Amino acid sequence: MKKSNRFFRVPALLAVAILTLFSTSSHSQVPIYYGPLMYAMPFDTTTPPIYVGQPPAITTAYLWFDEAMRLNTYSQVMLYINRMTWDDTAKFIASNLYQIQDDDPLAFDNWSGHWVKPTDTYKCEPGRAQGAFESEIKNLLGFRTYNLLTTAIIADVMVSDTVCTKDPTASLAKDMVLVNSSILDEIKGKHIPSCYGYMKTRKKGAMPQTSPASPIWTYSVPADTGSCLKFAYSPEWPANWLDDVVSINLIDTSGGWWVKPGKEY
């Protein structure tokens, strides 16, 4: 469900897979971003994102959410969520939310209904309902279940190389590291962004960035063993993403980058 420039968070023991993703067309404004990796996709043209060959359970889940967003306003959805307990209905919603994101996180992330005519497709935007539900799950169950729901791609990967760029606009995270990896085992996210497209790389040192990054057009490809998975992170980010003080960064004990070539994460 749509959140612009969504960051995909993955637990540290698996991989820090953060992908900057946005929808675009000839009429859209590209976000200003100086990091090493930005993916672009066309606007969604159908609601919900159902495709030929989709598992029946995923199609059913999408249609269930689609009907709920068409019939209920945001206020009605919020009223229901605020009264929610961890009962069978909440478990049903969480299970289906996880499954449709696992099936194709790119299509799921791109689903908003904004660009489908007529534009008043939904009384409640899917992304707003998703965010409210996930926040309530955090309150009810804590961060483990919350992270499993909000993380789009979880994978066991082998890193081949890393490339650092500088973000001149950043107040804290000035170093951004592009990580090139291959999938050893797909855990969540049966589809991933294609690595097709031109991307600047440099294996040693920092690469000065004087202009915003150019987006790489991408599409969903199967997350098969050996598939390329690119992601980015900053060594200046806190090891604990809830840490506002930034007491511990993503730096190893020797002061080096957290993610290293030739290592499995």
248 located within any domain: no
167 part of a folded domain = no
The pLDDT score that the predictor gives to residue 184 is: 96
Does residue 238 or residue 56 have the better pLDDT? 56
pLDDT of residue 249: 73
> Is 132 a member of any domain?
yes
Position 106 in a domain: yes
Q: What percent of the chain has pLDDT over 70?
A: 77
d(CA 140, CA 134): 10
pLDDT at 176: 87
- Into how many domains does the chain fold? 1
Q: Can you give the pLDDT at residue 1?
A: 39
pLDDT averaged over the chain?
Answer: 80
- Residue 233 within a domain: no
Higher-scoring residue by pLDDT: 122, 30: 122
- Distance between CA 145 and CA 138 in Å, rounded? 7
Structural domain that includes position 125: 46-150
Residue that wins the pLDDT comparison between 242 and 64: 64
Residues of the chain above pLDDT 90, percent:
46
Q: Is there a domain that residue 200 lies in?
A: no
Instruction: Check whether 25 has a pLDDT greater than 50.
Output: no
Whole-model pTM: value is 0.79
Give residue-wise pLDDT tens across range 40-82. Answer: 888 877 889 998 899 999 999 999 999 999 999 999 999 999 9
Q: Residue range 247-262: average pLDDT?
A: 77
pLDDT band at 97 (very low <50, low <70, confident <90, very high): very high
pLDDT at 15: 34
- Angle, helices 56-71 vs 126-141, to 10°: value is 100
Structural element, H or E, at residue 143: helix 143-150
C-alpha angle with apex 79: 77 to 83, nearest 5 degrees? 115
pLDDT at 83 over 50: yes
Distance CA 265, CA 262 (A): 10
pLDDT at position 23, please?
A: 47
Beta pairing, strands 175-188 & 154-166? antiparallel
* 17: in domain: no
pLDDT of residue 39: 84
What is the tens place of the pLDDT at every residue in 141-185?
988 899 899 999 999 999 999 988 888 888 888 888 899 999 999
User: Is 213 part of any domain?
Assistant: no
Model confidence at 236, pLDDT cuts 50, 70, 90, reads confident
H/E run at residue 62: helix 56-71
